[in-house]
Structure 1
Amino acid sequence: MILDPRHHLLDRAPARAWTDAYPVGNGHLGAMVFGNPARERIQVNDSSVWRGSPAPRSLPEGAGQALQRARESALAGDVHAADAATRGTQSGNVQMYQPFVDLLIQRTTEDTSPLARVLDLRSGWAITVTEQLRAITGVSIADDVLLDRRVFASPSDLEISVASVHEQSVAHRPASHPEAVVLAGALRVAASVDPDIGGDDAVRAPASFTESVHASWALELRTDGTASADLTGPAPSIHVTGATWTELRLVSATQFSADGTLRVPDHASLEAEVLAHLTTLAARSHDELATRAEESHRELYDRVELDLAAPDGPSPTPYRDREAPTMPTTAQRLDNLRADPEHADGPDLVALLAHVGRYLLISGGVGEGPPLNLQGIWNESPAPPWYGDYTININTEMNYWPAGPAQLAEVLPAFQEWLGVLAAQGARVAREVYGASGWTAHHNSDRWGFAAPVGDGEDRPQWSAWPLGGAWLTSTLVDLLRFTPDGPASAAGLVEGAARFALDLLIELPDGTLGTAPSTSPENRFVLPAGTVGEVHVSTTSDLVIIRQLLHDLLELSHVVEFDEDLLELAEAALSRLPGERVLPTGLIAEWSDDDLTDPDRHHRHQSHLIGLYPGTGLDPRRDPVLGEAARRSLVERGFESTGWSLAWRICLAARLEDAELANRFLLRALRRVEADGTDPVTGEVTGGVYDSLLCAHPPFQIDGNFGALAGTCEMLLQSHRVRGRRRELTVLPSLPSAWSTGRARGLGARGGAVVDLGWTPTRVEVAVHLPAGVDADAYVVELDGEVRALPAAKDGAAHLSLSRDLTARRSDRKTDTL
């Protein structure tokens, strides 16, 4: 087996824990493949299987009055009264993302021969190879089916079953193929409950078909052995004898569409749908389905290629002619890098981490259905960490940051449709809690668009009383749509609603500026001069930055979309009165509006006061070097030890600061291996990093760190957020560390819809800009180290530049001096 160190994960043992398993998926179906040749577990998720239903959630009586009391108390400086009052706005909890089924494949004989377990990022297959077995498992984007094929060296007996933590019934159904056996399952998820109850309630009796999620699955087995269904035991199963190969096809469906409407009226209709799905696949062989699956995956995956360690210029350098037993495992590579941060494998590991991010974004984000949650679409627990929800004070936004730079706009429709669901719920919250127009959302949400402050009247305001979630999500979508040729016009309705709420939220402060009250900085606290700790204040930096970005988005869109003139005038007037970021006497960016407040945790995982630097664009270190240096000092102040996703955000922030070595240091820290229990294998401490599978460790597992690391790596190579007059500026290699002395990056997305290829050696940079249809080369300029170059006329849709540059001297000038 030929393995490429930038496109393959390798282990030599079955997964010891869920986080060691390899993920496959197509946005709808996801699975974690454990790779045990004798007792395989393929843990399956359906992205639409959540607790709860689309039924609107009730809001507490007197929430509006509580909000007004909180505002008055915050303005009066009574932080404790403001804290207590905000709890009166809390409206229960979001619902939890759920596991679906376990597909279990057990052989009657042990297999102790040497094993290679591989995740092939390019093809989308999880592969298990021993002397007695070759198994491949994946999920097809083209045909929406989970496929598993096993080939045995000698005839084998197996038992195949489908288990679930949820109540389910299983039936044997006629197959459309003469040699197939088909099982169909009806699954019922527990009704809406308070998630704080915990996992034991996951299997309680479900509510009616319209009050909780119900699902159907269908499994088809084909084999050259003898197969029969057995529904008499505790676990309905298929017995297979004398097989030299087996092929499995699993499909699923639930009754609610992505927008919450009821698709089908009953279980019989759901079962008919999944059985019909199998029938449509019946005429295709496994090889045909596998080819279609791989082609649909590779069409997306192959758009981007990173090679950060090319020794002779822009050319790939895979490990050639090395079979699995001789290549280091992924865990060994991570440990080698930790022992020697200048290890030659470092750039390849960074490229691998970035490619894993693109792989996960494809496998978890394409197609219809709810958007990526805290775990993407992969989850084994009925009570997952933080409910597997949408934490919208950073984590959901981070999930989508790389969609533009990594050229995967296909994931945006699901995100945008869900924002419509959220806005519909958020309009009611804006009206009844804030007395405002437009729409809002707070810290947390779920598949159904929960938009109110979470909690039952006792939760902390630092993760509840923050109404800018809708605004930040909307600006995130607008910026990602800038990477598409059509631009962000389709988001105009979301922008208008979020902007109307933001304008109604703003109040006039005694100094004549506009601000917010009550105001929190996501999940952080402050200390008053007297030593009292508080959470609720007035006009946090993050509030003002998010509102300013949103209003700029509105005005930008007004050039292509017609808005009410009164709204635009209000936005322009508000922008003129919104304070910008401030520098404290300590030289740091202020997080709070009062300089007398101090931070009880200077290493806090959130960097909300730096949103204007990244993902925002208002804090530009080139335009304002003083503010830029304060931002850099604030970033370094947060430290190099944090959760996995926070380290990923720090990569992005350092890249935007154009501090290459600082960004690389955060990257290498994010690549620290973490055991399945979340502990550091060297120190034993609970710490952020990555698991053996390169999934991000908060810990526990959160997928946002994978996407943030990808976004940061792209940002180190190409930036496109600046505009010179009417031209989009392509800043190439703005944060190139010394370790990446020669390399190439093919297929990076840029705002405006261009796609950029880069190649570099220590003395030369090659740039190719592939222009979208109807766009001329003069729509862009290329910037490198302050030199701005116009693009030459395009040939065959691409404009090429070759730049001489001493990158060695350039990097020494930019090397971080103080860490």
Structure 2
Amino acid sequence: MRLDPRHHLLDRTPARDWTDAYPIGNGHLGAMVFGDPQQDRLQVNDAGVWRGRPDPRSLPAGAAAAVLEAREAALRGDVQAADAATRRTQSGNAQMYQPFLDLRIHRSTGGSPPAPSARMLDLRNGWAITIAEQLRAVTGVSMADDVLLDRRALGSPTDLALSVSSPHEQSVAARTASHPGAVVLVEALRVGASVDPDAGGDDAVRTPGSFTESVHASWALELRSDGTASADLAAPAPSIRVHGATWVELRLVSATQFAADGTLRVPDAAALEAEVLDHLHRLAPLGHAELATRAEEAHRELYERVDLDLAAPSGPTPSPYRDRSPAAMPTTAQRLDDLRADPEHADGPDLVALLAHMGRYLLISGGVGEGPPLNLQGIWNESTAPPWFSDYTININTEMNYWPSGPGQLPEVLPVLRTWLELLSRQGERVAREVYGARGWTAHHNSDRWGFAAPVGDGQDRPQWSFWPLGGAWLTSTLVDLLRFTPEGPSPAAALAEGAARFVLDLLIELPDGTLGTAPSTSPENQFVLPDGTAGEVHVSTTSDLAIIRQLLTDLLEISRTTEVEEELLELAEAALSRLPGERVLPSGLIAEWSDDELTDLDPHHRHQSHLIGVYPGTGLDPRRDPALGQAARSSLVERGFESTGWSLAWRICLAARLEDAELGHRFLQRALHRVDADGTDPVTGGISGGVYSSLLCAHPPFQIDGNFGALAGVCEMLLQSHRVQDGHRELSLLPALPAAWSTGRARGLGARGGAVVDLGWTPQRVELAVHLPSGDPSADDYVVELDGAMHPLPTPEHGVARLSLTRTTGQDPHLPGRTGR
């Protein structure tokens, strides 16, 4: 077996901690594979297993009056009174995403426990693989057949014990198998509601008193082997015992009661049990080899759409680890440590490619299929009280989860997001009406699979992470932009955009200078300092509020060109856009985050850079159109620093790329690749640090998956940008932030807005380009190519593909004067 350092993760010891295990999944079922040859663990999740139910949540009496009181206080500068008033709008907490079950596989070896000679994650084929003495275990989750597959070749006859446990109340039974000699277990599981849907507190959980206040879930497990197998249902963990086997195969399927849109899909646990047993029965005629082939083909169809090679073998510094055996390849952790010790290490470009490919792997494994959208941990979680509830934090993290779906050519993840946003908008209409007296819909800082839309908290939470009514607007603009990468464009988001626009238009107020603004207003999770030294969180018209509103209203006008939108709404949007202030530059040369220049940041290195939303993912602050504003944005980004949480570093990569600062983006990338231990400790400095774990999962710390997706989006943005439209032509900006370390390379299959797909190959002298135009009525006239500041029309396509060979230039960057070019 030969490994590709861009597509394989490698370790030589079992995962000691959860974050060292390897993730597998198909968007519905997920598992973390620990790879222990003697006592293995598969920690399994079902994306539908959440606490709570889709029942409407109560809103606090007097919330609308509290908003008006907070507005008056903010306008007169009384930040303490504004803070106190916004707390009276809080309505409990979002619910928690839950673990599902644990499979533990004990192998009797009769001697010292064998260590794995290799533990690998094969990104291209979707398998976690463990190789040890007398063992080859291959585990994955099939997108084609919605089943977790595990096959263990044991060499000589071996005894095994497989146990199944869950942190939730479950009832396990044995059932007759369709396959001779197989053993089938089936389970009915219930997940308790919160202690009080309207109460706060991190420990708001309880054991359910009846099925009616629980989420139903069910799993069925089939074991096949050439040994003798029998079920043992005795407490505490039901198990299957196998004697004298040389191979064992597992098939696990699962189902939950509720559909992605929050409706009741099936009535009870009995219906779920019948469903999972029928699922196994339908798979029974298929052997493991056929199921594995179907799983690989479904995974590779998505995964192989894109490939990155940032250190092509023909380049000046070839990668040192291409085409090596597992024994000759350094572990992923060692590669990360080597790059940190030597930032010029020749493996650096391949590690960046591996990080990007890992992002696409996780987006496929966690985001494709039916179910709720990707939460803070994707679909992987082992804790009943996970960090930040493993819910949806929609002031950046949920948006970041989906940023790479367009450039990474994975539109399959968008229907789930759109379905959930429609649920969120229905809940948000009530919040808009009863809390703000507004039309349309809104959502705040946190949500869950049930569409919670109100300010979180029980009257005690800080406004900086509770009161922020722009969540619906930002999520809608995110969906609109990602739909631009599809041939149909943003029209499917029209209804969501209209509702979100109605809300923000009603939210805006006229300020004394005649402009429009927001009050009360916060900048997500950040604080300011008043001239007297007092810290505050609630003010008037933060830069992020205005940037999000500007983007949403601009999106609505674009949608109206192809989809009918109410004329009065369009007139109001156009009038509001003409009165919205743009970003301001402070005397310090930085972009202002607050509307009052006397306010300063409590933490200049804060993890959020919400005042730069107009740079990325927005388009309102364009460094080409306004170089001075672009330079202020760059200074603001540098001011935030190079030490932060993993996801924040990923956002900074994207911002640097959009600012077309190649070396700044590369520096953030290398910083994001710092390895941290499972407890978040930096092994070099000893402090708590953001970065990645040895599994390449993003370390906030703790684990948050959004950093993996943000890093992928940033790498794509460094290679290709398509957000500008010039005289009706979509601009394809080639290699806008290409660092010197990637002087020769290839990128195949990058998505561009308008539905085109771009293949790139480059050297220091030339760029070879192939643009695959969208099907239907492709026209090269729809696009113009930009390279090093020069514009080039696309030639006439042949068979839907336009090819172009361009000479590269060097020198000063034409867009940000005074900075060395690409």
The interval holding the TM-score normalised by the smaller chain is over 0.9
Other-structure match for 1:601: 603
Other-structure match for 2:682: 680
In structure 1, the gaps of 5 or more residues are none
Q: 2:247 aligns with which of 245, 248, 251?
A: 245
Q: In the TM superposition, what whole-angstrom CA distance separates every residue of 1:121-173 from its partner, at most 9, and x where no partner exists?
A: 00000000012100000000000000000001111101111100111010001
Residue 741 of structure 1 deviates from its aligned partner by: 1.0
Other-structure match for 1:94: 94
1:555-566 alignment runs, 5 A limit:
555-566=557-568
> SS at the partner of 2:570?
helix
Whether 1:792 aligns to 2:812 is no
Other-structure match for 2:785: 782
1:157-236 alignment runs, 5 A limit:
157-193=159-195, 197-198=201-202, 204-236=206-238
Residue 809 of structure 1 deviates from its aligned partner by: 8.5
1:325-364 alignment runs, 5 A limit:
325-364=327-366
Other-structure match for 2:729: 727
Other-structure match for 2:375: 373
Other-structure match for 1:746: 748
Name the CA distance, whole Å, in 1 between partners of 2:85 and 2:493.
34
1:577-596 alignment runs, 5 A limit:
577-596=579-598
> SS at the partner of 1:746?
strand
Other-structure match for 1:81: 81
AA partner of residue 141 (structure 1) = M
The change in CA–CA distance for 1:317 and 1:642 in structure 2 (over 3 A counts) is closer
> SS at the partner of 2:600?
coil
Other-structure match for 2:808: 805
Taking structure 2 as the reference length, the TM-score comes to 0.97
Residue 804 of structure 1 deviates from its aligned partner by: 1.3
Name the CA distance, whole Å, in 2 between partners of 1:815 and 1:20.
44
Name the CA distance, whole Å, in 2 between partners of 1:36 and 1:61.
54
Other-structure match for 2:419: 417
> SS at the partner of 1:555?
helix
Contact 2:37 2:116 in 1 (8 A): no
Residue 479 of structure 1 deviates from its aligned partner by: 0.1
> SS at the partner of 2:213?
coil
Whether 1:554 aligns to 2:553 is no
Name the CA distance, whole Å, in 2 between partners of 1:187 and 1:811.
61
Name the CA distance, whole Å, in 2 between partners of 1:707 and 1:565.
37
AA partner of residue 738 (structure 1) = A
Residue 318 of structure 1 deviates from its aligned partner by: 8.8
> SS at the partner of 1:739?
helix
Name the CA distance, whole Å, in 2 between partners of 1:817 and 1:518.
42
Contact 2:757 2:771 in 1 (8 A): yes
1:455-534 alignment runs, 5 A limit:
455-534=457-536
> SS at the partner of 2:192?
coil
1:94-173 alignment runs, 5 A limit:
94-109=94-109, 110-173=112-175
The change in CA–CA distance for 1:321 and 1:461 in structure 2 (over 3 A counts) is closer
Q: In the TM superposition, what whole-angstrom CA distance separates every residue of 1:214-251 from its partner, at most 9, and x where no partner exists?
A: 10000000000000001124211111000000000000
Other-structure match for 2:538: 536
Name the CA distance, whole Å, in 1 between partners of 2:521 and 2:40.
50
Residue 319 of structure 1 deviates from its aligned partner by: 4.2
Q: In the TM superposition, what whole-angstrom CA distance separates every residue of 1:657-677 from its partner, at most 9, and x where no partner exists?
A: 000000000000000000011
Name the CA distance, whole Å, in 2 between partners of 1:783 and 1:244.
60
Contact 2:771 2:803 in 1 (8 A): yes
Other-structure match for 1:436: 438
The change in CA–CA distance for 1:636 and 1:409 in structure 2 (over 3 A counts) is same
Contact 1:5 1:318 in 2 (8 A): no
Name the CA distance, whole Å, in 2 between partners of 1:68 and 1:458.
19
Q: In the TM superposition, what whole-angstrom CA distance separates every residue of 1:14-36 from its partner, at most 9, and x where no partner exists?
A: 00100000000000000000000
Contact 1:307 1:316 in 2 (8 A): no
Residue 190 of structure 1 deviates from its aligned partner by: 1.3
The change in CA–CA distance for 1:15 and 1:812 in structure 2 (over 3 A counts) is farther
Other-structure match for 1:692: 694
AA partner of residue 662 (structure 1) = L
AA partner of residue 115 (structure 1) = S
Other-structure match for 2:28: 28
AA partner of residue 406 (structure 1) = G
Contact 2:183 2:231 in 1 (8 A): yes
Name the CA distance, whole Å, in 1 between partners of 2:301 and 2:752.
19
Name the CA distance, whole Å, in 2 between partners of 1:622 and 1:808.
17
Name the CA distance, whole Å, in 2 between partners of 1:67 and 1:288.
60
Name the CA distance, whole Å, in 2 between partners of 1:794 and 1:321.
36
Other-structure match for 1:18: 18
Name the CA distance, whole Å, in 2 between partners of 1:284 and 1:588.
62
Name the CA distance, whole Å, in 2 between partners of 1:654 and 1:527.
27
AA partner of residue 804 (structure 1) = T
Other-structure match for 1:2: 2
Q: In the TM superposition, what whole-angstrom CA distance separates every residue of 1:762-819 from its partner, at most 9, and x where no partner exists?
A: 111111100011121111010001110000000121101101124598799999679x
Name the CA distance, whole Å, in 1 between partners of 2:192 and 2:816.
59
Taking structure 1 as the reference length, the TM-score comes to 0.98
Other-structure match for 1:393: 395
How many pairs does the alignment contain?
816
The change in CA–CA distance for 1:810 and 1:766 in structure 2 (over 3 A counts) is farther
> SS at the partner of 1:31?
strand
Q: In the TM superposition, what whole-angstrom CA distance separates every residue of 1:608-658 from its partner, at most 9, and x where no partner exists?
A: 000000000010000000000000000000000000000000000000000
Other-structure match for 2:66: 66
AA partner of residue 457 (structure 1) = G
Name the CA distance, whole Å, in 1 between partners of 2:820 and 2:795.
37
AA partner of residue 124 (structure 1) = G
The change in CA–CA distance for 1:323 and 1:812 in structure 2 (over 3 A counts) is farther
* Superposed CA RMSD: 1.8
Contact 2:129 2:139 in 1 (8 A): yes
The change in CA–CA distance for 1:19 and 1:788 in structure 2 (over 3 A counts) is same
Name the CA distance, whole Å, in 2 between partners of 1:388 and 1:419.
18
Contact 2:317 2:346 in 1 (8 A): no
Contact 2:627 2:815 in 1 (8 A): no
AA partner of residue 727 (structure 2) = G
Name the CA distance, whole Å, in 2 between partners of 1:368 and 1:314.
45
Name the CA distance, whole Å, in 2 between partners of 1:429 and 1:114.
54
* Bigger shift: residues 246-255 or 102-111: 102-111
Contact 1:2 1:319 in 2 (8 A): no
Contact 1:4 1:318 in 2 (8 A): no
Other-structure match for 1:612: 614
> SS at the partner of 2:40?
strand
Contact 1:217 1:252 in 2 (8 A): yes
Other-structure match for 2:52: 52
Name the CA distance, whole Å, in 2 between partners of 1:814 and 1:641.
27
**Percent identity at matched positions?**
78
AA partner of residue 705 (structure 2) = I
AA partner of residue 76 (structure 1) = R
Name the CA distance, whole Å, in 2 between partners of 1:207 and 1:785.
66
Residue 560 of structure 1 deviates from its aligned partner by: 1.0
Name the CA distance, whole Å, in 2 between partners of 1:418 and 1:430.
18
> SS at the partner of 1:649?
helix
Name the CA distance, whole Å, in 2 between partners of 1:116 and 1:724.
52
Name the CA distance, whole Å, in 2 between partners of 1:197 and 1:37.
40
Name the CA distance, whole Å, in 2 between partners of 1:148 and 1:815.
57
AA partner of residue 782 (structure 1) = V
Name the CA distance, whole Å, in 1 between partners of 2:796 and 2:137.
50
Name the CA distance, whole Å, in 2 between partners of 1:320 and 1:536.
53
Name the CA distance, whole Å, in 2 between partners of 1:411 and 1:43.
24
Contact 2:627 2:816 in 1 (8 A): no
Name the CA distance, whole Å, in 1 between partners of 2:814 and 2:310.
15
AA partner of residue 411 (structure 1) = V
Other-structure match for 2:42: 42
